[in-house]
Amino acid sequence: MLINNVYIVTGGSSGIGKEIARQLVMNFATVVITGRDSEKLENVAEEINAFYFHADVTNDEEIDALFEYTLSKFGRLDGVVNNAGIADSGPMEEVTRERLKNVFDINVFGAAMMGARAAAHFKKVKAGNIVNIASTAGVKGVKNGTVYSASKFALRGMSQCWQDELRPYNVRVILVNPSEVPTAFGTEDRVEKELQPKKLTPEEISHVVISALKMDSRGFVPELSVFATNPF
């Protein structure tokens, strides 16, 4: 059950993160959404009845402040959803160190630092949940996906390491691999794309996340991939 649980959702002001936060709230959890756009965060938090904290996962001091805020305000933390991420695509001959660093800083390093901070607390209380939102591009590479796929393969590998390390502390690490979902993800203006009848929506992804979290804590789902049945 998620009643009275406290969750942090990064990248929680739009798309998949917003819907996961909404569904957590609907299941009577307390949710703190984070992101880099403070005005958008505030508006979305009010819309879905969540709390918000302005934090950039590329900034370790802001990550520390986020955890300190959550623990001091609510006295507990039951789970972290690492959803913040950015996209990158292009031919392999156009890959640069700068593009790799830009994507890895959020998709990999940001998730790693959030996970490290969460693990420190969860090991103490001997309970907790970490959900990493990766991608089917982290299961099978795709054309022009060198930078993005590499970051999601890295997140997948980290998740497996965390599972092995944290299970003795009753901490569940769940990796979710969405296929294509039309959202603001990957757009420069951060405006949500229109949903398409045959493609996935944030609702399908949030459904599997919530279902996995609601499982009794004696069990967990290590990894889930979600595909549209017939997107063509």
Model confidence pLDDT, tens digit, residues 3-23: 999 999 999 999 999 999 999
Answer yes or no: is 142 within a domain: yes
Answer yes or no: is 232 within a domain: no
Answer yes or no: is 123 within a domain: yes
Q: What is the CATH number of the domain that holds 13?
A: 3.40.50.720
Average pLDDT rounded to a whole number, residues 159-180: 98
Percent of the chain with pLDDT over 90: 91
Q: How far is CA 10 from CA 63, 110, 114, 205, 228, in A?
A: 10, 10, 9, 15, 24
Average pLDDT rounded to a whole number, residues 101-107: 98
Q: Is 169 a catalytic residue?
A: no
Answer yes or no: is 97 within a domain: yes
Which of the residue ranges 34-48, 68-82, 189-203 would you say has the lowest mean pLDDT?
189-203
Answer yes or no: is 1 within a domain: no
What pLDDT is recorded for position 198? Answer: 85
What pLDDT is recorded for position 188? Answer: 57
Average pLDDT rounded to a whole number, residues 62-80: 98
If one counts the domains in the chain, the total is 1
What value, to the nearest 5°, has the Cα angle with vertex 153 and ends 133 and 129? Answer: 35
Is residue 92 within 8 Å of residue 146, measured between CB atoms? Answer: yes
Answer yes or no: is 231 within a domain: no
Higher-confidence position of 226 and 1: 226
Is residue 171 within 8 Å of residue 129, measured between CB atoms? Answer: yes
What is the C-alpha separation between 221 and 174, in angstroms, rounded?
Answer: 6
Average pLDDT rounded to a whole number, residues 110-119: 98
Q: What is the extent of the structural domain holding 84? A: 6-226
Answer yes or no: is 215 within a domain: yes
Average pLDDT rounded to a whole number, residues 110-138: 98
User: The pTM is what?
Assistant: 0.94
Active-site choice (7, 52, 148, 169): 148
Answer yes or no: is 163 within a domain: yes
